[in-house]
Structure 1
Amino acid sequence: MIVVTGATGALNGATVDHLLELVPATEVAVAVRDVAKAARFAERGVEVRSGGDYADADSLPTAFAGADQLLLVSSNDPGADAVALHRQAIDAAVSAGVGRILYTSHQGAAATSPFVPARIHLATEELLAGSGVAWTSLRNGFYAHSLAWLMGPWQETGVVAVPADGPVSWTAREDAARAAAIVLASDGGYDGPTTITANAAPTFADLAATASELTGREVTSVVLEEDEWLARQVAAGQDEQMARFVLGMYQAAEQGFFAGVDPLLGTLLEREPLTARDQLAAAASASR
């Protein structure tokens, strides 16, 4: 039995869809906070379990029961102690006798990263390593759909203005979801940190040049002073705390935390992964 948490979300929901192409529905269960939102899986023969809230520790062992493999989505509860929540989920998996825990991590997982989620991911991987259970950490590349806001309003201004620049292996979330399904279907074929990225890591300057090619008009890039960039974000209506959170992503990119690429994703998909260029092409086409 494969149990998947977060299946009503975009990433793990797509993972379950792909998983059902590879294994019978009777071998899949989803553990969710709101069973009504998982009706589409129930209609396909997937067992829907109540118990996707990591804060509700008492409900988790039952939700995870009988799992040969358990896919844990990383917590995105605002203001919560994500590592503590992940610890509760891992402890519950251990008590339920789960055979292998898989976790949606991030390529840039590191204790020294200025991007807060990267530190959370590494701390969670350390919990997995100490759990005594077989584990796989899916270190996904930075999701390419994030470019819609991380590049700013370049389609209106003709400028990609960022507070720091560096290479990022922008990876399509849909590709990462399919890869996760393939890894799950391999039944233990991948162990420990497993990097899932696109095949290139362009900078924001590179992306501006690509945008120019795609749109036929000049799109430039500029690196602003951090204070100026923050002031612009706040003036545009962004919460300052959130703006500082996002700033950490650019800083991490500048420091090379997202620069690595790995051929595994293409191998799993048996095709070239989607690229940042594909993402920009779709955005440019939609704006016409």
Structure 2
Amino acid sequence: MFPMQFALKRGMKAEMPDMDIARNLDIEKPRSRSNSHNEILTKDIAGALLDVIRDLKSTLEDSRKSLSHSAGAGCRCSTTGTTLSTLDEYSTSGPRSSDMMGIPPEIMSYVRTFGHEPATASDLMDWLTEFEDTMEILGLDGQNGTLDKRSVVARLALKGKARKVVLAKRAWLARQGQQLSWAEVQKSLRLAYRAHIPEHAMESRLCRFNPQEHSEEGTGLLIQRVLEIMNMGESHDNEYRLFYIISTLPDDIKDILLRRPCPTDEVELIGRVEDIELLKVSMAMNGREQGKGRKR
């Protein structure tokens, strides 16, 4: 019913790390088939994805109207025997099943491929709207008609938490006709981060230097700070801090974080920082580069 589901998973599948890194991180060996089709997500695919999302929203809205109309007439659920007044009432009180919610299973399956499990029909509609916004941003991006995979992953990981900044950036792009590069994604994250929690001095200090121009000591400080924040427990503010800091890490670390499988949210992305091998790999890479410089 939704053929683009497979195109999306294929188009966004991330490339594999170099094998020496893969061995250090215990990542399975890449298959022998070519991964060239995974390097980019074309504007054509982005446009087709928008069509799919809009179709999902239209189908969902039809389902909601149908169920709400029936429930208003005193419809009883054959499974629970409960009289329903709205779809959301059933989605919170009844069994958490896409069939029971009156939502086609294909829609729920599609949404779950991004790691999202909506609690209510309104939650699902909101998620689809945010995803549509994201895909529209992607449709304005790109160079030579293509999209950078890292930017796709980064913006999907936002999941609407920096929505005002992202929407403002989309409007700016529409006026300027320019691209939204990885650097611009970082800038958007920085703006969202500072606007949300400007009072945190530690992260503000980290924001003021570029870790890519520092030694492994700077990278180590950032990763240690990520681990410290993780130990504070889950909170909305901590998600902002963590994802922002991750976005500022040097490319060698950031690339590993954003590789296979594509992270679908901050929690999955943050989880990869816990492996201390990432820091060791970064130090080894920096050491090799410094060695080359001394030989010259």
| More helix as a share of residues | 2
TM-score normalised by the shorter chain: which range applies?
under 0.3
Q: TM-score, normalised by structure 2?
A: 0.24
Relative contact order higher in (CA < 8 Å, ≥ 6 apart): 2
Q: TM-score, normalised by structure 1?
A: 0.25
